[in-house]
Structure 1
Amino acid sequence: MAELTDLAVRPTTHAKVRILATADELFYSEGIHTVGVDRIIGESRVTKATFYKYFRSKDGLIVAYIEGRDKRAREQLNAVAERHESPARRLHDIAYTLAAEVRTDSFHGCPFINAAAQFADPMHPVRQAVSIHREWYISSIEDLFRGMGHPRPGDAADDFFLARDGAFSGANLGDPIAAQAALMRAVQRVIEEAAAEAAQAG
């Protein structure tokens, strides 16, 4: 009966999609631990039965939220790859995208860092989902520096991510304009150093 009621009042968007969209917005803007399942159910306009049909627990929903953010990031990098053939141009494009992101009104820091900070156990499924994303992203940036001919692409990727993570934290806690400028300076320096290292190694 509950399912029939839900079907009668819900809009055409699939219930699971609405649950994930609601969770994505609330988890990112307000924090994972501060948003309860009942609120997500209410704002998604689904019944509890429908919610638990798709997600056995809040942790399962959080993992799905992280996986959704990861998918979005992969799509962004794929779009960059379609726009540019040069690894250096791709890195510049990624940096500009990150810099623009920290200036948006809806920016609340890195969703992956934010999530990891709320789960201390590295074996927790949420932390593992974050780790999968981070490992993929760092590996992708490392591949771009390797494509530039950098003799130590892993070090360059670490420098890139240190600048990225610092800017995301700084923009969230302080001045996003200063964080944006600092990010672009740092990334430009890393790319220039990569080009110089590659030239010297060649």
Structure 2
Amino acid sequence: MTSTAVAPRPPAPAKLKILEVADRLFYTEGIHTVGVDRIINEAHVTKATFYKHYRSKDLLIVAYVEGRHLRAKHLIDEARASLTDPADVLRALATLIGQIATRPGFHGCPFINAAAQFGDPAHPVRQAVSRHRAWERALVTELVTELGNASREDAVDDLILFRDGALSGSNVGDPERAYRALARAVERIIAERDAGAGSQRLTA
């Protein structure tokens, strides 16, 4: 006797609507400034419906952070799909960050913004942000390793820091200048790979 896998049910439309409204308001206005009643009113649901799908505001915030993570992962997967050279992937990621930072309505990195509003590292929202950051670091480490950079950990630290700086700087300053600074940092990391490869050829 064989068992038939049952496809998971799609989320209820009301649940999706609540998250859609929360995503917009949390990002544009700040998590702590947006109350549950505002979300309920703009999502056109009842309070009972809200608490049926999200037992607390904190759980909704975690869902917001996790949703932003999935969107970021999708964008990066798309950017990597047709590229094989890790140098080209790093350049593509820098370009993607530049495109995001220059879009209308950009208000900084949603993960940095969320973390800034929850000081306790053990809070579920901070943990959700930490999971995203761990995934992000693993991605950069993988690319730098493929690149063959001799100072791998330093290169990863530099790229993460410049990524954060580019997004934060774009929010409070000139997005184009912030992107160019990130692009220069990426090229320096790539140049270190190329310089190392040249040294190996000379000593071979």
Q: TM-score, normalised by structure 2?
A: 0.88
Deviation of the 1:197 alpha carbon: 3.6
Query: Partners of 1:159 and 1:197 in 2: how far apart?
Result: 18
Could you say what secondary structure the match of 1:177 adopts?
helix
Contact map agreement 1:170 1:179 (CA 8 A) in 2: yes
Moved more, 44-53 or 71-80: 71-80
Partner of 1:66: 65
Partner of 2:83: 84
Deviation of the 1:99 alpha carbon: 1.0
Moved more, 136-145 or 167-176: 167-176
Partner of 2:34: 35
Runs of 5+ in structure 2 lacking a partner?
1-11
Q: TM-score, normalised by structure 1?
A: 0.89
Deviation of the 1:152 alpha carbon: 3.0
Percent identity reads 54
Could you say what secondary structure the match of 1:142 adopts?
helix
Q: Once the two structures are superposed, what CA deviation does each residue of 1:3-48 show, in whole Å capped at 9, x if it has no partner?
A: xxxxxxxxxx811111111111111111000111111111111111
Q: Once the two structures are superposed, what CA deviation does each residue of 1:138-188 show, in whole Å capped at 9, x if it has no partner?
A: 110110110111233222111111111111111111222221222222222
Deviation of the 1:102 alpha carbon: 1.0
Partner of 1:187: 186
Could you say what secondary structure the match of 2:170 adopts?
helix
Deviation of the 1:196 alpha carbon: 2.5
Contact map agreement 2:83 2:89 (CA 8 A) in 1: yes
With over 3 angstroms needed to count, the CA separation of the structure-2 counterparts of 1:198 and 1:142, relative to structure 1, is farther
Pairwise CA RMSD of aligned residues? 1.5
Contact map agreement 1:156 1:194 (CA 8 A) in 2: no
Could you say what secondary structure the match of 1:83 adopts?
coil
